[in-house]
């Protein structure tokens, strides 16, 4: 099995480029989803990934959307799939569905227990961590390319970085071909994490997850949930403009360009944008990067 990302092999160019979307819940959200996707297609992403809800709750909806995106756009489509609270039979059904739709890759995740539901989802499911779930897919659905999540600032449940990285290594050893990181704002954190994983013998591509900050309040909330630190230099810039959406967009683009440029200059294998289904910042960031990194 190649350790190169599929998308690199498919597109024959570096660095890679990918966009993550989530399944919209309302009809207006659906319009925005397709509009954003169409806006981003001209940047020739190597893959599109679509998230799924926790606990199997919105898995079926995600599945249908993944199918439609793949069918309508022909893009290399990566389906996120969480195992939390799900039985082997339920996961097998979803994987068969993706197989029948011709989906080439799965981002295999544990997921989080659904909020507001009684505790015990982790115990109820067939797999308590992503690692055995990856091994399961690798054994029964060997045709899928497999991605996993990585946490440069550690996963919130395991703040001990060394322990979390050993868990990450086991997950990769179970059969992952690539990893995508949680978002971060300090590139040193990413490069330290990648260096430490390499020392531990993890050699799959680790794509940095990029979150352009165009809505400060929203990112503050997400950062707390995900354990991604907001550096002081970033909060002080946004605190001053928090009620001015235009300025936040401009600042988000400026900081996004600087972060991405530095990542690519220093050898990151590509960029994975968390689009949040919004088209405002990402195209502007890519326009600035295109002459140097994505010509033509
Ligand atoms: C790029 C990306 C995309 C994501 N997409 C989605 C999505 O579509 N839907 C969604 O619901 N969530 C998504 N998430 C969030 C993810 O589901 C949560 O962060 C979840 O809490 C952990 O999932 P995981 O697959 O990383 O779990 P794991 O790899 O299982 O890790 C979870 C925790 O368990 C620990 N652990 C792992 N193995 C062991 C072990 N053997 N013994 C003890 N502890 C262990 C780890 O250190 C970590 O603290 C995404 C995250 C990222 C970074």
Task: Decide which of 3.20.20.220, 2.30.33.40, 3.40.1110.10, 1.10.3720.10 is the CATH code for 6-293.
Answer: 3.20.20.220
Question: 206 CB under 6 A from ligand 1?
Answer: no
pLDDT of residue 10: 39
> Do residues 9 and 269 lie in contact, with contact meaning Cβ atoms separated by under 8 Å?
no
Report pTM: 0.95
Q: Is 20 one of the catalytic residues?
A: yes
Q: How far is the C-alpha of 268 from the C-alpha of 128, rounded, in Å?
A: 31
Residue nearest to atom 10 of ligand 1 (CA): 111
CA distances, 124 to each of 111, 119, 127, 196 (Å): 13, 10, 9, 34
For residue 68, give both structure tokens.
């439609």
Gap between the terminal Cα atoms of the chain? 30
149-189, pLDDT tens digit by residue?
999 999 999 989 999 999 999 999 999 999 999 999 999 99
**pLDDT tens for residues 79-119?**
999 999 999 999 999 999 999 999 999 999 999 988 777 77
What's the CA gap between 48 and 71, in Å, rounded? 13
Mean pLDDT of the chain, nearest integer: 92
Kindly provide the b/e burial profile for residues 187-211, where b requires at least 16 CB atoms within 10 angstroms of the residue's own CB: bebbbebbeebeeeebebbbbbbbb
What pLDDT is attached to residue 13? 63
* Ligand 1 neighbour 131 (Cβ under 6 A): yes
């Amino acid at each position: 099995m190649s350790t190169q990302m599929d998308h690199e092999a498919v597109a024959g160019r570096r660095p890679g480029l990918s966009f993550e979307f989530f399944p919209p819940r309302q009809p207006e959200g659906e319009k925005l989803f397709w509009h954003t996707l169409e806006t981003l297609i001209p940047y020739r992403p190597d893959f599109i990934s679509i998230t799924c809800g926790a606990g199997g709750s919105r898995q079926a909806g995600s599945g249908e959307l993944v199918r439609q995106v793949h069918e309508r756009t022909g893009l290399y489509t990566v389906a996120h799939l969480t195992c939390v609270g799900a039985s082997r039979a339920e996961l097998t059904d979803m994987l068969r569905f993706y197989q029948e739709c011709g989906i080439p890759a799965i981002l295999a995740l544990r997921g989080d227990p659904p909020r507001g539901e009684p505790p015990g989802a982790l115990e109820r499911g067939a797999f308590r961590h992503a690692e055995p779930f990856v091994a399961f897919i690798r054994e029964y659905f060997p045709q899928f390319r497999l991605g996993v999540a990585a946490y440069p600032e550690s996963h919130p449940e395991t703040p001990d970085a060394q322990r979390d990285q050993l868990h990450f290594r086991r997950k990769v050893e179970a059969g992952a071909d690539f990893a995508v990181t949680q978002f971060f704002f300090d590139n040193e954190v990413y490069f330290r994490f990648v260096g430490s994983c390499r020392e531990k013998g993890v050699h799959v591509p680790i794509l940095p997850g990029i979150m352009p900050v165009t809505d400060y309040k929203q990112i503050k909330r997400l950062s707390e949930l995900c354990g991604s630190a907001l550096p002081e230099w970033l909060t002080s810039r946004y605190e001053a403009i928090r009620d001015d959406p235009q300025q936040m967009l401009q600042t988000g683009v400026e900081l996004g360009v600087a972060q991405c440029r530095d990542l690519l200059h220093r050898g990151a294998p590509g960029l994975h944008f968390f689009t949040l289904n919004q088209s405002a910042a990402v195209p502007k960031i890519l326009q600035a990067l295109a002459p140097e990194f994505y010509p033509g």
